[in-house]
Amino acid sequence: MTDSFLEAQRAETLAKAWEKAEWPHEAPVLRAIAMPSDTNPEGDIFGGWLLSQMDLAAASIAFHRAAGRCATIAVDSMTFISPVLVGDEVSLFAKIVHTGRTSLKVQVEAWRRRRDAEQAHKVTEGVFTFVAIGEDRKPRPLPVF
């Protein structure tokens, strides 16, 4: 068998695993590979790195809904379920769970998958609150759709 044949077989296997996975089926908002430079002194991926990735994913959703600039004002209900390891592929899924007059809440789930594995594991989740802000850096109403 040629290398290209084996690569194609592996890609097909991973695609099938994605379809059967017990994780969200929508496309992730953000995907990153955990690198050695992202570790804490114990050698696990630093929680702050994961939190920043989650904030980036939530901000992307918030910016889109707010039709412009917004700022993170709170992180609620952060729960770390299991560690992320160096080399893991981290997929971040986000959705709006509440909107107010000037603010919105975005729920984010982070899932990890070893790059050579098919099964994914949820590692953390949290709710991020944003406020839409204008050019004067003061709260502004969210657009009505």
Q: What is the pLDDT of residues 91-122, one digit of tens each?
A: 999 999 999 999 999 999 999 999 888 889 99
Q: Which residue has the higher pLDDT, 52 or 21?
A: 52
pLDDT confidence of residue 1: 62
Structure tokens at 38: 């992202």
Query: How far is residue 109's CA from residue 97's CA, in Å, rounded to a whole number?
Result: 13
Asked if pLDDT for residue 65 goes beyond 80, the answer is yes
What Å distances lie between residue 105 and 36, 84, 126, 127, CA to CA?
31, 25, 10, 6
Mean pLDDT of the chain: 89
Query: How far is residue 53's CA from residue 132's CA, in Å, rounded to a whole number?
Result: 20
pTM of the full structure: 0.83
DSSP per-residue letters across 8-32: HHHHHHHHHHHHH-SS--SPPSEEE
User: In the structure, what pLDDT confidence band is assigned to residue 35 with cuts at 50, 70 and 90?
Assistant: very high
